[in-house]
Amino acid sequence: MHTGGVRLFVRPVEGDPTATDVLRALERRARSRGLPPPAALTGDWFGGSTVLVPSVRVHPVEPGEAFDVLDRRPEVTPEPAAPEGAVGGGWVGYLGYELTDPAGARHPGRRRLPAAAWGWTDHVLRRDPRGQWWFEAIAEHEPGALVTELGTLVAEAAGHHAESGPGPGGVVAPDAERHRKSVRRCVEEIAAGEIFQANVCSRFAVPFAGSPLELFATGSARFDPARAAYVAGAWGAVASLSPELFLARHGEVVRSSPIKGTTPRRGPQDDHNADVLRGSRKDIAENVMIVDMARNDLGRVARTGTVTTPKLLRVEPHPGVWHLVSEVRAELPPEIGDAELLRATFPPASVTGAPKVRALEIISELESDPREVYCGAVGMSSPVRGTELNVAIRTLEYAAGEVAFGVGGGITADSDAEAEWQECLTKAAPLLSLLERAGQ
């Protein structure tokens, strides 16, 4: 990582391959040269862009340093003609849910992945919302040879077939009755006045001998999630197919888009279920409580009077489901760094409960396994463009020949234990379908 003054170099790249074609080509390049694997942010990142990191060494980070890393970025001088939306490079990686949660201490021997992992990259390939590819770098001198090499890779990437591999074995499903009991216990805690709402989760696991990157590439192309992200290292891989934005910070403005409220979507014209969700008292109450939590979290570090809710209870289509989506926005004092912002807001409000501290304690008592990366955050922090992190839901975690993922939902006073379990199955279905086809 550069620590002195560096420049932002941006060069257009010819060709119009898909992001997944380029990502697969980058993996072939890394594998053939013995380089660290690529990373990817696909969907609606940094103003509608896809950002691919050709090769990055993503290292485990100690929990006490996981937030502070993001404030260690150089000052960058952009080129006068740099296009709007340029990213250049930065930190890419993830924050695991247990970083600040008591569950981490309860399951020390059951974790499979590091609590957090970050890697620094000084160059990226970015596809802007119009479909134009760019090579971007943060460097002291123009990296001409790298521009040529990666430009050729992009130009030749289209049309390559994905490599097939062995698919998954049998699914290890969570205990349905345990989940129902956890929901009922949560409702009891609400009735006792301990909490107003909490998120209860369970985990699926599937033996897997295929390529985690191919799993991500297939899933991101099939589902087109708004906040998909992929990072990998010697420790394993994280393939997040998330639709949800945790934080997007650009300068002094930060926003969060919590999702709470889910119902199945049976085809593009399924207006009936959309109307059901729009009128659901339970889902509306859940979403409003989470919005209040996000407002409170951001209010801890925001300028007084700047926390607003520009979007509330919007019904949006996502792969296989309808979601209720809101947005919270705030302005930060210039002295507030990303580490302080994360200490005020992490883990994301939509995957915890209200009040947050007590909900986290109850969750740690109810759940038998650590959430790992699930319900944490994956994303990138760029000295040029800012910091964007997703909420790590719909997230596949690969380690030691197995893929695991969590599912869950928010529990309120009106929650029904069987309905909550069915919601878990609804959320798990697209990921299980993806895994079933992984080797085909």
CA–CA dist 64, 68 (Å, integer):
8
Closest CA to 402 of 169, 74, 192: 169
Give the DSSP letter string of 94-157: EE-GGGGSTHHHH-TTT--S-SEEEEEESEEEEE-TTS-EEEEEEESS--HHHHHHHHHHHHHH
Do residues 380 and 104 make contact, with C-beta atoms less than 8 angstroms apart?
no
CA–CA dist 148, 150 (Å, integer):
6
Task: Give the Cβ contact number of residue 67 at 10 Å.
Answer: 21
Q: Quick one: how far is CA 274 from the chain centroid?
A: 25
Do residues 112 and 226 make contact, with C-beta atoms less than 8 angstroms apart?
no
Do residues 287 and 260 make contact, with C-beta atoms less than 8 angstroms apart?
yes
Do residues 212 and 399 make contact, with C-beta atoms less than 8 angstroms apart?
no
Per DSSP, 349 falls in state G
Token pair in block for residue 344: 């005020």
Do residues 324 and 313 make contact, with C-beta atoms less than 8 angstroms apart?
yes
Which is catalytic among the residues 98, 136, 244, 423? 244
Token pair in block for residue 353: 């409960």
Task: Give the Cβ contact number of residue 52 at 10 Å.
Answer: 23
As a whole number of Å, the end-to-end CA separation of the chain is 40
Judged on CB neighbours under 10 Å (0-12, 13-18, 19+), 4 is: exposed
Catalytic residue at 244? yes
Catalytic residue at 260? yes
Task: Give the Cβ contact number of residue 279 at 10 Å.
Answer: 9
Which is catalytic among the residues 98, 189, 260, 397? 260
Phi and psi of 117, rounded to 5°? -150, 135
- Residues annotated as catalytic are 244, 260
